[in-house]
Amino acid sequence: MKSPGGMLLASIELDRTGSVPLYRQLYLQIRQQILAGHLHGGMRLPSTRTLCAELGLSRITILNAFDQLTAEGFLEPRPGAGTFVCAEWGVRDAAADEPRKAPRLSNLSQSVLSLRSDHFSGISYAAWEPGCPTSFLPSHAAYDAFPLPIWKRLMSRHLRQPTKDMLSYGELKGQRALREAIAEYLYDARGIHCSAQQVVIVSGAQQAFNLLGMLLLDPQDSVWMEDPGHIAARIAFQAQGSRIVPLRIDEEGIDVQQGLRECPGARLAFTTPSRQHPLGTTMSYARRLELIEWAGRNLGWIIEDDCDSEFRYQGRPQPALYAMDQWSRVVYVGTFSKVLFPSLRLGYVILPEALVEPFCAMRAVMDRSPATLLQAVTADFMREGHFLGHIRRMRALYQARQHCLLETLQKRLGHFIRVQPVDAGMHLIGWMPPELNDAAIAQGLASQQIYTYALSDYCIQRYLPPGLLIGFAGTPEEQAVDKVEALAQGLISMGYRL
Amino acid sequence: MKSPGGMLLASIELDRTGSVPLYRQLYLQIRQQILAGHLHGGMRLPSTRTLCAELGLSRITILNAFDQLTAEGFLEPRPGAGTFVCAEWGVRDAAADEPRKAPRLSNLSQSVLSLRSDHFSGISYAAWEPGCPTSFLPSHAAYDAFPLPIWKRLMSRHLRQPTKDMLSYGELKGQRALREAIAEYLYDARGIHCSAQQVVIVSGAQQAFNLLGMLLLDPQDSVWMEDPGHIAARIAFQAQGSRIVPLRIDEEGIDVQQGLRECPGARLAFTTPSRQHPLGTTMSYARRLELIEWAGRNLGWIIEDDCDSEFRYQGRPQPALYAMDQWSRVVYVGTFSKVLFPSLRLGYVILPEALVEPFCAMRAVMDRSPATLLQAVTADFMREGHFLGHIRRMRALYQARQHCLLETLQKRLGHFIRVQPVDAGMHLIGWMPPELNDAAIAQGLASQQIYTYALSDYCIQRYLPPGLLIGFAGTPEEQAVDKVEALAQGLISMGYRL
C-alpha cells in the first residue's frame, strides 16, 4: 500500500553531527519533496507522534519545522485531522516544470530507434499485451495444445528441495543436461555432429543474432541478407554498424551468385535455409553447396537460422548447412519459441570449435545463462520423449489448421487475397493486388485488433507484390470461419470491396 | 540415442531430376561424410533394406554405391554383421586437418576477450558449475532458506491452463503486475516515486548495465566509476568504447570532488550508494546531493545500482538517489538475484520519463522480456507479502551468519586476515598483510575448491592493501568452523604460516 508516510520517512536523512539545526534539516527536506512533486497537494503527513518515534526527534523540533512550512504555504494543519500538504501543490509531475527536450543518447541508440520505426511500421508494441488477441500473428503457436500438465510435473520435480543447482547462477554455457539433449536431437533430426561443448543456451534466437553480430561484425562490414528476410536479425547487424547486402530469393533460396557479383568479400551471410523467412522457400542442395563454398573460400561466416525445421509438412527435410560444412564456417541457431512456447525464452547456438570461447566471453559480459529451472525442465521434456511426441502432434495439428484456414480464406477472400499451401512453417502469405499498400492494410487491421504482418516490412529492396503474413498455427479449425470473417469485415470497414 | 543411420539418412539429399546417376550421388555424399569425419571408422551403416525404404532407392543402386566405396577403402562389408566404415578413418575431428588459426573476430569481441581476462584473473568459469561448492562466494544467498514450497504453489497456480498470457511473447517492458509490485515496493522501501510505466524488467543487473551503456554511451565518452568497483558494469561500459575515470572511495562514498577536478564533463557516473561494491561504505547524504548536483548541472547520467539495500543490519537506509533527484538524471537498477535467487534471472530498471521509449527500443532489439511465468510468480510473491517477510527473515539470518563467520575467522585466522563487521550486504572484506598478492591467493584457494574473490580484481588504480571478499550469507552457523578450517588448511598448503 502506498503510504506517503512510508515514503517521507524513508527519504528523510538527518545529520546529527553537523551544524544545521535538526528542525531546519527537516523543514528543508519536506520542502524539497513538495517542490519535487513527491509529496503532493492533499497528502496527509504522518502524525507528529509517528515522526518523533521514527526519526528520533523531539516533538518541539517537528512542530518548529511544521510551523515554518505552514507559514510558507507548504502545509496546512486541519484540526482533528492532521497536517496536510496544501492543495495548491496539486498532483504534479516533477519533470513537468522543466523544458522538455530530447535527452542526449548514444548514436547507437538513435540508430536503433530509427531502425525500429523504419522496419516495424505495421507492428506496434500493443500486439504483445497479454489481453490482445494473437489473431493471425505468424509466430504464435497453438498455446491451447501445449501439454502443461506434463510440464508442471517435470517442474515440480525440480522444486522439491532448495539446492544450489537450481537456485544459483547457472553454468555459463547453459545447463549441461539441456546442451546434451540438444546435441542428440540435432544429430538425429538435422544430421548435425556436435558435442555439448559447442552448444550454448541463449534466451532466444534474437539474443543469439545480437551476440553473433557483436562477435563477428565490425562497423562497415558487409552482410548478405535474404530479401525479403528476417527483420530482427537485420536490425541486430545494422546496430553493429554493418552494411546490408540484400540478396534476392528465387525458387532455390538465397541468390548466392548475386552475392558473388555484388559483394564477394562480405564477412557474414545470414540465411534461413529450412524455410525461408518469410517466403517459405526451401534452399536447394546445390545452393547450399554454393553458399558453403563461398564461406570456405572467402573466410566468411554463415549464420544458419534453422527456423521451423520442425514443422515440415511436405518432403523430407534438407540437411542443415552446419552438417554439410567442412570448413567450420557455419553457426547454427535454433529456438524453442515455436516448438515449445515463446515465453520460455530459450534458444541455442551451435558453434564451430574456434568460436566457442570468444562467444562465451561475449555472452558472459552481456548476460548470464537463462533461468536454470526452465532449462532443466526443457532438458527433461526432451530426454523423456515428450519433445519428439509434441513435435509430431503439432505437425499434424498445424497441417490440419493450415488446410482449414487456407480453404476458408480462399472461399471468403479468394478474389482479394491469393493464398497457396506452404511446405513448412506456421504462416501463409496472402498475396494482394499490386496497387495496394500492405503496411497500411496491416496497420488498419491492427487498429481493429486483427493482427497480421505486412510482407513489405520484410523487404529491403522492393520487388515483391504486397502481401500479408497470415499465421495458421494459432487458429483452431472451429474458429477459422469466424476469424476470417472478422478479417473480411476489417477490410470492408477500411473501404476495400471484397 | 545417437544412431549413425539417423544422421546419414537425414543428411543425404538426392536430385532425381538431374543428370548425375543416383548411385553416384549416394557414393559422393557418403564419401563426403566420411572425409568430413561425420561418419567415422567402425560405424555401422543402415542396412540396405532401411536405405531402400528411407531413400526410395532400388537395392541395386545402393549396392553399386557401396561397391565403389568398398573398392576405394571407405567401407568394409562384414558378412552377417552389415557394412561398416573402415577402421582407418578413425574417430576424427573434422577440423583437425585444417591449420589451426585464430578466427577473424570483431574488434569488440577481441576487446571483450581481453577485458575479461584482465579483470577476472582470480575467477574461473568453473566456479559456476552446479557441482562446485559456493564456499565463500560473495553473491550467493542462503539457498537452503528459500521458501520453495510457497514458490511452487504460486507457480502451479499459473500452470493450470495453457493461456496466451503465460505462454506467449510477454509485454515488452515486462509483466504489468510485476512492474506495479516493484513500483509499490520501491515507494515504501526506498522513497521512490515512479509509475509502472517507468519500470522495465530485465534479466538481471548485468543486462541492465549493458543496455544502459548502449543507450547512453558513445565511444570515447567518459564514465565515472567507483574504484574499487563493480567489475561487470565496468566491462559493460568499456565494451562500448568508453573511457573509465576511476574515483576513489572514502568514508562518505565516491569522491565527487575528484571527478569534478579530473573530468567534470563525464557523460555517466556509475555508483552503488546503498552499499558500495565491494567495500561496503554507505554514501553520505551530502555526497548524494553533490553527485546529483553534478548530474543536473552537466546533463550527466547517474546509474544507481542499489545493490543489497535490502540487507542492511545497522542504521536506517539512506534514501535512493533516484528519490532525491529533481533533474531526472538518475536511472535506478535493482535485481532479485540476491534477495530471491540468482537463477531466477530477473532484475529491473527505473527510468526517467524521457528514457523510457529509447530504452524500450534498445531492449526490443537486443532481447525480449524474460519468461512470463517467472515474472508472474515473482509478482505474486511480492503482492502476497512473502517478499517482505523473506527479506526480514534473511536479514536476521544473514546478520547471525555474519556474526558467526566473523568470530570464527577472527579466532582461527585473526593474525593473518583482519575482518570487521559490515553494515550491509553479504560479504566481509578479509584484509591481508600488504606484501601479499590477493589474486594469487584467491587462485590458489580456487584450485582447492575454496572460492573467494580477490579485492584487487575490483581495483582500477591500486591504492588498497590486498584483501579477499568473503561471503557469509551462504554459510550456516554450524558450518562456519569447518569452512574456516578448510580455508586455513588451504592457506597452509600454499605455504602461508598462520
CATH architecture assigned to B4-95: Orthogonal Bundle (1.10)
d(CA B437, CA B457): 11
Spatial neighbors of B266 by CB under 8 A, at least 6 apart, are B221, B222, B223, B224, B245, B259, B298, B300
pLDDT, residue B93, reads 47
If you search the block for the grid coordinates 510440464, which residue do you land on? A151
pLDDT, residue A133, reads 77
Task: Answer yes or no: do B352 and A112 touch at CB < 8 A.
Answer: no
If you search the block for the grid coordinates 577472527, which residue do you land on? B410
What does the domain layout of chain A look like in residue ranges?
Answer: 4-95, 110-118+148-387, 389-493
pLDDT, residue A157, reads 93
Chain A residues whose CB is inside 8 A of the B113 CB are 357-358, 361
Chain B residues whose CB is inside 8 A of the A10 CB are 188-191, 317, 319, 323
pLDDT, residue B120, reads 56
Question: What residue type is B158 in one-letter code?
Answer: H
d(CA B177, CA B70): 67
Q: In a 10 Å sphere around its CB, with 0-12 CB exposed, 13-18 middle and 19+ buried, how is residue A157 labelled? A: exposed
Mutate to test the interface with A, among B324, B367, B369, B479 (most CBs of A within 10 A): B367
CATH architecture assigned to B148-384: 3-Layer(aba) Sandwich (3.40)
> B327-365 as b/e, with b when 16 or more CB fall inside 10 Å?
bbbbbbbbbbbbbbbbbbbbbbbbbbbbbbebbbbbbbb
Mind listing the pLDDT tens digit for each residue in A420-446?
999 999 999 999 999 999 999 999 998
Collapsing DSSP to helix, strand or coil, A330 comes out as strand
Mind listing the pLDDT tens digit for each residue in A11-36?
788 878 766 778 888 887 887 788 77
- Indicate if the pLDDT at residue A391 is higher than 70: yes
CA A58 to chain centre: 55
B251–A contact, CB cutoff 8 A: no
Task: List B259's β-bridge partners, or say none.
Answer: none
* Domain range B389-493, its CATH number among 3.30.70.60, 3.90.1150.10, 1.10.287.950, 3.40.920.10: 3.90.1150.10
- State the cell numbers at A418: 491469393
Rounded (5°) CA angle B35-B37-B39 = 95
* Cβ atoms of A333 and A306 closer than 8 Å: yes
d(CA A442, CA B381): 39
The Cα of A495 is separated from the nearest Cα of chain B by a number of Å equal to 31
Q: C-alpha distances in angstroms, B494 versus A358, B238, B419, B454, B486?
A: 32, 35, 21, 16, 12
Alpha helices, DSSP H, located in A2-99: 4-11, 22-35, 48-55, 59-71
Length of chain A: 498
Q: In a 10 Å sphere around its CB, with 0-12 CB exposed, 13-18 middle and 19+ buried, how is residue A473 labelled? A: buried
* Cβ atoms of A221 and A243 closer than 8 Å: yes
Q: How confident is the model at residue A1 (pLDDT cuts 50, 70, 90)?
A: very low
Residues 173-212 of A with CB under 8 A from B: 175-176, 184, 187-191, 193, 203-204, 206-207, 210
- State the cell numbers at A334: 535454433
- Starting at the earlier edge strand, list the strands of the sheet with B427-431: B427-431, B467-471, B453-454
| Residue A240 parent element (H or E) | none
Q: C-alpha distances in angstroms, B278 versus B233, B307, B365, B470?
A: 13, 10, 32, 11
Q: C-alpha distances in angstroms, B78 versus B44, B81, B83, B85?
A: 10, 5, 6, 10
DSSP state of B13: -
Task: Answer yes or no: do B328 and A98 touch at CB < 8 A.
Answer: yes
A233–B contact, CB cutoff 8 A: no
pLDDT, residue A95, reads 43
pLDDT, residue A55, reads 86
Q: What is the pLDDT along chain B (498 residues), one digit of tens a residue?
A: 344 556 677 778 887 876 677 888 888 788 778 877 778 888 888 888 888 888 888 888 898 888 888 877 788 888 888 888 887 776 544 444 444 567 888 888 888 887 766 555 445 555 666 667 778 988 888 999 999 999 999 999 999 888 888 898 888 999 999 999 999 999 989 989 999 999 999 999 999 999 999 999 999 999 999 999 999 999 999 988 999 999 999 999 999 999 999 999 999 999 999 999 999 999 999 999 999 999 999 999 999 999 888 999 987 778 899 999 989 999 999 999 999 999 999 999 999 999 999 999 999 999 999 999 999 999 999 999 999 999 999 999 999 999 999 999 999 999 999 999 999 999 999 999 999 999 999 999 988 989 999 999 999 987 899 999 999 999 999 999 999 999 999 999 999 988
pLDDT, residue A422, reads 94
Q: C-alpha distances in angstroms, B251 versus B230, B254, B255, B270, B282?
A: 18, 9, 9, 18, 8
Handedness of CA B88, B89, B93, B99 (dihedral sign): positive
Chain B residues whose CB is inside 8 A of the A98 CB are 327-328
pLDDT, residue B41, reads 81
Residues 141-180 of B with CB under 8 A from A: 141, 143-146, 148, 151-152, 155-156, 159-172, 175-176
If you search the block for the grid coordinates 537486443, which residue do you land on? B366
CA nearest neighbour of B480 among B419, B406, B405: B405
Chain B residues whose CB is inside 8 A of the A357 CB are 113
Task: Answer yes or no: do A162 and B172 touch at CB < 8 A.
Answer: no
DSSP state of A44: B
A29–B contact, CB cutoff 8 A: no
Mutate to test the interface with B, among A367, A374, A382 (most CBs of B within 10 A): A367
pLDDT, residue B97, reads 46
Collapsing DSSP to helix, strand or coil, A122 comes out as coil
Chain A residues whose CB is inside 8 A of the B151 CB are 159
* Residue among A2, A13, A94 minimizing CB distance to B319: A13
Handedness of CA B339, B172, B109, A297 (dihedral sign): positive
- State the cell numbers at B486: 578448510
Helices (H) and strands (E) in chain A, counts: 18, 13
Task: Answer yes or no: do B170 and A355 touch at CB < 8 A.
Answer: no
Q: Return the axis-axis angle of helices A107-119 and B205-216, rounded to nearest 10°.
A: 90
Give backbone dihedrals phi and psi of A484, rounded to 5 degrees, phi first.
-70, -35
Chain B residues whose CB is inside 8 A of the A367 CB are 203-204, 206-207, 210, 367
The Cα of B323 is separated from the nearest Cα of chain A by a number of Å equal to 7
Task: Answer yes or no: do B203 and A368 touch at CB < 8 A.
Answer: yes
Task: Answer yes or no: do B106 and A240 touch at CB < 8 A.
Answer: yes
DSSP state of A366: H
Q: How confident is the model at residue A92 (pLDDT cuts 50, 70, 90)?
A: very low
Chain B residues whose CB is inside 8 A of the A3 CB are 188
Chain B residues whose CB is inside 8 A of the A321 CB are none
For the question of whether the overall pTM of this predicted structure is more than 0.95, the answer is: no
* Domain range A110-118+148-387, its CATH number among 3.40.640.10, 3.40.50.620, 1.10.3720.10, 3.40.50.2300: 3.40.640.10
Collapsing DSSP to helix, strand or coil, A16 comes out as coil
A19–B contact, CB cutoff 8 A: no
Q: How confident is the model at residue A319 (pLDDT cuts 50, 70, 90)?
A: confident
Chain A residues whose CB is inside 8 A of the B309 CB are none
> What is chain A's mean pLDDT, rounded?
89
Task: List B212's β-bridge partners, or say none.
Answer: none
* Cβ atoms of B487 and B445 closer than 8 Å: yes
* Cβ atoms of B390 and B190 closer than 8 Å: no
Q: C-alpha distances in angstroms, A336 versus A11, A390, A471, B28, B320?
A: 45, 12, 18, 34, 39
Rounded (5°) CA angle B6-A359-B35 = 35
* Residue among B232, B358, B370 minimizing CB distance to A345: B370
- State the cell numbers at B150: 510457497
β pairing state of B301-305 and B330-335? parallel
Mutate to test the interface with A, among B111, B190, B365 (most CBs of A within 10 A): B365
Question: What residue type is B178 in one-letter code?
Answer: L
CA nearest neighbour of A150 among A464, A440, A386: A386
- State the cell numbers at B380: 505474486
Q: Over range A60-65, report the average pLDDT.
A: 88
d(CA A232, CA B417): 52
d(CA A425, CA A254): 18
Q: C-alpha distances in angstroms, B157 versus A154, A427, B58?
A: 15, 32, 56
Q: Beta-carbon neighbour count of residue A13 at 10 Å?
A: 18
If you search the block for the grid coordinates 576424427, which residue do you land on? B92
Q: Indicate left, alpha or beta for B254 from its phi (over 0: left) and psi (-120 to 50: alpha).
A: beta
Collapsing DSSP to helix, strand or coil, A218 comes out as coil
